Amino acid sequence: MGSDPQPEERKGLEGANSDLERRFPIALGLYVVLGLLAWFTIGEGKVFVFGWPVEIRLVPLVVLAGMAVRTVLARQAERIRRQSGDGNGSSGL
């Protein structure tokens, strides 16, 4: 039920973590590429957001930046979970 993973399961979990670590820079690079594509393909113009004129090129960049921040936070959360799951008794604080 609440027992530690078996050695073969643990090896699979460690492989998944290394896979996530390998994918992280690729994900951030793709966010940059998408941001550049959005910047150079969306024409100039302004849209009103809460009564303020905002350049329309910034809208997709804000969305992509939010997704990138979420990716970074998810990676940090996974690292904290991994440290607390090591069984060393430290709380990470």
Q: Which domain holds residue 57?
A: 7-83
Domain tally for the chain? 1
Residue 2 inside a domain? The answer is no
Q: DSSP letters along 37-52, please? A: HHHHHSPS-EEEETTE
Per-residue pLDDT tens over the stretch 35-92? 999 999 998 899 888 999 989 999 999 999 999 999 999 999 988 888 887 655 555 4
Which pLDDT band, with edges at 50, 70 and 90, does 27 fall under?
very high
Per-residue pLDDT tens over the stretch 72-87? 999 999 888 888 876 5
Contact 50, 76 (CB under 8 A): no
Residue 35 inside a domain? The answer is yes
Beta bridge partners of residue 49, listed in sequence order: 52
Residue 54 inside a domain? The answer is yes
Looking at the chain, the number of H-run helices and the number of E-run strands are: 2, 2
Residue 12 inside a domain? The answer is yes
